[in-house]
Structure 1
């Protein structure tokens, strides 16, 4: 069950990355603002998660971390699609 939730949260993060990279970039002037918001939220989540001594006790923290990893992975995939 935990493995299924982890994979689902990872794919949810990948889906959020596609949303975050396409919707604000339609106007062209929101790319800097949206990227700074994404980086700030990423760093805040990192600070909160990795200051805990045992992350394995909290299921919600693992799911949030997997969503964060999915967002980062999705943004890298979008960057490679734009670069080619």
Structure 2
């Protein structure tokens, strides 16, 4: 890519943001926020997909596909030798999402 002002600005922002998240408390807070956002997504997707009740199987297959892709990205050793923050946040989001779907299933079963 060319060395433009926009590229320099984006590189500077990315490097400062990565330095800012090196603090363990900030990193942990981002992961907790990612978990809570995953639980919100699980609840929101299950209620909106269940409203019409026509595409339940298609939506379920798509969600399983997304969680499997996320697991493959996180647990593949060749993809990232060192796990970056966004990969960890994506995995925690997936865990929150699956947790929320289990809670929704328990609510429907009781």
The verdict on a shared fold, with TM-score over 0.5 as the criterion, is: yes
Over aligned residues, Cα RMSD in angstroms? 0.9
Q: How far apart are 1:54 and its partner, in Å?
A: 3.2
Q: Distance in 2 between matches of 1:48 and 1:26?
A: 31
Structure 2 residues without counterparts, runs of 5 or longer: 1-25
Matched, 1:30 2:55: yes
Classify the secondary structure of the residue corresponding to 1:3: helix
> Any idea what the Cα deviations from partners look like across 1:28-49, whole Å, max 9, x if unmatched?
1111111100000100111111
TM-score (norm 1): 0.92
Aligned length: 82
Of structures 1 and 2, the one scoring higher in RCO (CA 8 A, sep 6+) is 1
Name the larger-Rg structure.
2
Match of 1:62 in 2: 88
